[in-house]
Amino acid sequence: MEAAAALPNAIPLRNHVMPRPRAVLRDVSRAQPVCSTCQVREKCLSEGLDAATAKRVDELVATRIRLRKGDTLYRAGASFTSLYAIRSGSLKTLLLAEDGRDQVAGYHMSGEVLGLDGIGNNVHECQAIALEDTEVCPMPFDRIEQVARDHPTFQRNVHRYLSREIARQRALMLLLGTMRADQRLAAFLLDLSQRYQARGYSSSEFILRMTREEIGSYLGLKLETVSRLLSRLQQEGLIQVQGRVVKLLERGALKELVGQSA
């Protein structure tokens, strides 16, 4: 990962604010049907749509954005116009407080939709940064709303997606509010595992796309704690770690760890 990605807990992050203008727009308007084959459609917004509706949703996407590792998709404060479907790769979203405190708010992988937090005030509330080379499809939100008005099923999907984001964050709150450090880490690994599996990858062995510091930021821990706990879990035989490669050896024990109240 790149300097960028790290979470200078004090003030910095200026390397993001000084943009590396690397993001590239590609015109795909005349390309073959994009969305029809895209995971995004399968997973959420286009679930259960009839052909006509699906076609209209397809038409929402006219361009594609390529991001390189460390590139920023949008910044906090940037005006909101579109949601972004992640076509490939992954990103993190970063919460910034006025005083420089920041925190990783989430890790997002292919098939997920980014930018929901911007709807409220037409301004993005957080910053989205690519963790690796990544492609996203912008979907203008006013046009999403248009389609939603004509197609109740799609409308319902949009609402569902928003609501699930709320539920996802609640789970994270519970984690931050009630779990010990080792439980948080175990929950994090299990969550990643499950999401990789849902995408057809191995659920027992995967690569962490983020640094220890970023993991810690997300979980409300310090990087040393994350490192120590990874070592400990390995020593206890629950996982195997080799740099960013993680293997879950005892999924049951991990779940039990997360589950034990207090």
Partner DNA sequence: CGACTAGTTGAGGCCAGTCAATGTTGGTGG
Partner DNA sequence: CCACCAACATTGACTGGCCTCAACTAGTCG
Contact positions vs DNA (CB under 7 A): 1-3, 5-6, 180-182, 208, 211-213, 216, 220-228, 230-231, 241, 243-244, 262
CB 147 within 8 A of CB 56: yes
Q: Which does 89 bind (CB under 5 to 8 A by kind): a second copy, DNA, none?
A: none
Instruction: Give the x/- contact pattern for a second copy in 97-136, rule: CB under 8 A.
Output: xxxxxxx-x----------xxxxxx---xx----------
The CB-of-235 to a second copy minimum distance in angstroms stands at: 25
Instruction: Give the x/- contact pattern for a second copy in 157-176, rule: CB under 8 A.
Output: -xxxxxxxxxx-xxxxxx-x
Instruction: Give the x/- contact pattern for a second copy in 63-102, rule: CB under 8 A.
Output: --------------------------------x-xxxxxx
Q: Which does 95 bind (CB under 5 to 8 A by kind): DNA, a second copy, none?
A: a second copy
The CB-of-160 to a second copy minimum distance in angstroms stands at: 5
CB 136 within 8 A of CB 84: yes
Q: Is 11 in the site for a second copy (CB under 8 A)?
A: yes
